[in-house]
DNA sequence: CCTATATTCAAATAATATATTGATTGTTTA
DNA sequence: TAAACAATCAATATATTATTTGAATATAGG
């Protein structure tokens, strides 16, 4: 009889975790944080919210234990409480893409997976090892520093036009923040206009990490403070 | 600019999937359905709800595309839309147990994983192959018929006292509906009182299936109608 | 036709969810 | 020490939603 009560509590608590996944802005925050810790301010800007609103959503995520945060300097840096949160987010995406036509159609029309290089993570790893490809990471430098595909070069999206000439003309594999990342698409489009041979990868660092492949990190112990 | 809109729609839709996971009764329904399809009536009874309430929750689950249903005879049979829904539910549990102290503590005190046989699914598979153990499935017969561990014998919990004598005295491995299943605990307790040597498995069929191990099914094409 | 099973509807209740504004706290920097 | 900044909190407003109940309605079976 006591176990019955405990079981209900467990389901209740797990439901609160599910509930935390039930808002667009919060999912976006999880998605952003899967590329490394960020201050509240940045999360607010990236999700188009006021600081107060972002702070409220973060409170929900913290209550569900999905996000942890720490004050350093004058910023509060937020991060996923564990890599398994990113994996939960990936699994949610997979289920949505598999089962919800609304998701599947939107993904197909706006972020067509068929437009990406049809390479699995291990296949990319093998090309990296053989020096057959140049990986280009379009994310901001802090995210690149926090973790990247091996031998990837960092060329943040806003600097693309100016610095593209640093890249080789051939065999570019471009990635940014994952399958729904607008910059990855536009980056490849721009590079092609500039006569580079470039393909988009359909995944990013969190998926790479979840596949058990090695992630390269800048030697500075944490994020710059 | 159009991609930005599509991205927001994707997140919105995925949030509605998350939202569907945000209620105790709905999680319980998913958990039950991971052992096979069930009519609405049974889901209502098992979750302690009126038919109308259960129906409303099922509507949410259907809208999120997690559950499909079909009318056969006078019942509406509900089932998970895909095995990946069960996997999402498992992942949610794992995250909860890993990160939420409320969940972890409740699990430890009421459903202590340490009280289960410390066997992984492949280890159990190997024992089955060598005939080193007798698996006992305490679930209702329909769930047993819909999918079970190889060579498991079915002894539904309510019949345990009456029919325990059919079992060998040694090397019993008992499972029911998973890590939070009360019957699995009480079943093992009763068997031990009756001087059987029995251990509880910390997992059930959905976890077994997710591990890629073979599930045995009764030859009748679907559920009995 | 009558019954069993589900869904829907109307309604009630309560509760949430979300965002805004302004105040407050703690920290850094001038 | 004061000013500027980052974040949270408190109070508030609005709207919406969540959940359940009981009755009415469909649907199919016997």
Q: How far is CA A20 from the centre of its chain?
A: 18
Query: Which protein residue lies nearest to nucleotide D4, measured between its Cα and the C1' atom?
Result: A74
**Tens digit of pLDDT for each residue in A53-72?**
999 999 999 999 999 999 99
B222: left (phi over 0), alpha (psi -120 to 50) or beta: beta
Beta strands in chain A (DSSP E): 38-39, 67-72, 75-80, 134-137, 153-154, 172-175, 198-200
Query: Which protein residue lies nearest to nucleotide C21, measured between its Cα and the C1' atom?
Result: A52
Whole-number distance in Å between A62 CA and C16 C1': 18
Please give the DSSP secondary-structure letter assigned to residue A213: -
Interhelix angle A24-33/A51-63, nearest 10 degrees: 80
Q: What gap in Å lies between CA B154 and CA B135, rounded to an integer?
A: 9
Q: Is the Cβ pair B18, A23 closer than 8 Å?
A: yes
**Tens digit of pLDDT for each residue in B148-168?**
999 999 999 999 999 999 999
**Tens digit of pLDDT for each residue in B93-109?**
999 999 999 999 999 99
Q: Is the Cβ pair A27, B18 closer than 8 Å?
A: yes
Instruction: Determine the distance in angstroms separating the CA of B156 from the nearest CA of chain A, rounded to an integer.
Output: 19
What is the pLDDT, as a whole number, of residue B168? 94
Contact A12, B24 (CB under 8 A): yes
Quote the percentage of chain B above a pLDDT of 90: 83
| Closest nt to residue A51, judged CA to C1' | D7
pTM for the full predicted model: 0.92
Enumerate the β-bridge partners of residue B77.
B39, B70
Instruction: Determine the distance in angstroms separating the CA of A63 from the nearest CA of chain B, rounded to an integer.
Output: 9
Q: Is the Cβ pair B99, A82 closer than 8 Å?
A: yes
Out of B64, B78, B174, B176, the active site residue is B176
Banded model confidence at residue B116, pLDDT cuts 50, 70, 90: confident
Banded model confidence at residue B220, pLDDT cuts 50, 70, 90: low
**Range scoring the smallest mean pLDDT among A82-86, A221-225, B68-72:** A221-225
Q: Return positions of chain C under 7 A from a protein CB.
A: 4-9, 17-22, 26-29
Residue of A nearest to B28 (CA): A11
Q: What gap in Å lies between CA A153 and CA B64, rounded to an integer?
A: 40
Q: What gap in Å lies between CA A90 and CA A85, rounded to an integer?
A: 9
Contact B97, B68 (CB under 8 A): no
Residue of B3, B21, B95 lying closest to A110 (CB–CB): B3
**Range scoring the smallest mean pLDDT among B111-120, B171-180, B187-196:** B111-120
Does nucleic acid strand D have an atom less than 7 angstroms from the CB of B73? Answer: yes
| Closest nt to residue B78, judged CA to C1' | C6
Q: What gap in Å lies between CA A179 and CA A165, rounded to an integer?
A: 26
What is the pLDDT, as a whole number, of residue B180? 93
Whole-number distance in Å between B19 CA and D16 C1': 15
What is the pLDDT, as a whole number, of residue B1? 60
């Amino acid at each position: 009889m006591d176990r019955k009560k405990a079981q209900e509590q467990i389901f209740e608590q797990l439901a609160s975790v599910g509930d935390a996944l039930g808002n667009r802005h919060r999912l976006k925050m999880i998605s952003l944080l899967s590329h490394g810790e960020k201050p509240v301010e940045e999360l607010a800007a990236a999700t188009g919210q006021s600081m107060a609103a972002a702070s409220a959503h973060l409170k929900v995520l913290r209550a569900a234990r999905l996000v942890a945060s720490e004050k350093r300097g004058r910023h509060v840096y937020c991060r996923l409480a564990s890599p398994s949160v990113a994996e939960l987010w990936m699994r949610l995406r997979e289920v949505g893409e598999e089962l919800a036509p609304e998701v599947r159609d939107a993904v197909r029309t706006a972020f067509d997976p068929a437009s990406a290089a049809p390479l699995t993570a291990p296949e990319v790893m093998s090309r990296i090892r053989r020096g057959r490809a140049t990986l280009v990471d379009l994310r901001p430098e802090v995210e690149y520093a926090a973790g990247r595909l091996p031998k990837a070069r960092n060329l943040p999206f806003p600097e693309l036009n100016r610095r593209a000439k640093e890249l080789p003309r051939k065999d570019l594999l471009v990635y940014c923040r994952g399958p729904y990342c607008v910059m990855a698409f536009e980056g490849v489009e721009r590079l092609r206009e500039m006569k580079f041979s470039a393909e988009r990868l359909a995944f990013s660092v969190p998926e790479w990490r979840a596949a058990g492949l090695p992630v390269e990190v800048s030697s500075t112990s944490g994020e710059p403070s």
